[in-house]
Amino acid sequence: MIEIEDITQFLISAWDGHAWHGPSFSSLLEGVDSEKALAHPIPGRHSIWELVNHVAFWIEKVTESLEIENMPDPEGLYDWPPTGEGEEDWVYTKNALETAHKLLLDSVARFNPERLNEKVQGRDYTYLTMFNGIENHNLYHAGQIALLRPKVS
């Protein structure tokens, strides 16, 4: 049976540990400056910075749903916040993402494991599904970042 510690460890390893699938999310951002983060090497697709903002947005929403027990409805939400412009804004964005991830880990660690199979308020999925979902969401976008990320020396 899956435990809270397992969920936490999955989130940590995908984020900044030794993930079996390849580079962790945080390692993909190493050496990426604001210019590279803003670039659109694939026309019509999101930039690294846009992806980072989107991932942070959903990490924050999952964390909020654990604290206030109400997952927002994605319909009507604009979950692609605007980017900043320069290096200072990019550092702020990366720090905000890191903070959001730490707050999620703290909330998951405090989560009552007896509630893992309960449905998230207002949703048709369980908390366990939501935890798996946020990890999968982060990894999906990490893969996009890996494709967009220029070779960094």
Rounded CA gap, 87 and 90, in Å? 5
Torsions phi, psi for 12 (to 5 deg): -65, -45
Q: Indicate whether 37 pLDDT > 80.
A: yes
Task: Give residue 31's identity as a one-letter amino acid code.
Answer: G
Mean pLDDT of the chain: 89
Q: Give me the sign of the Cα torsion angle 145, 79, 86, 14.
A: negative
Residue-range domain boundaries for the chain: 4-148
Rounded CA gap, 138 and 55, in Å? 6
Q: For 2-22, what is each residue's pLDDT tens digit?
A: 789 999 998 998 898 777 778
Average pLDDT over residues 121-130: 90
pTM, two decimals, is 0.91
Q: For 104-115, what is each residue's pLDDT tens digit?
A: 999 999 999 999
Q: What is the pLDDT of residue 16?
A: 86
Taking residue 12's Cβ as centre, other Cβ atoms within 10 Å add up to 14
Range of lowest pLDDT (30-34, 49-53, 113-117, 119-123): 119-123
Specify the CATH number of the domain 4-148. 1.20.120.450
Q: For 54-108, what is each residue's pLDDT tens digit?
A: 999 999 999 988 877 667 666 666 788 889 999 999 999 999 999 999 999 999 9
Three-class SS of residue 143?
helix
Rg of the Cα atoms in the chain:
16
Q: What is the pLDDT of residue 72?
A: 67
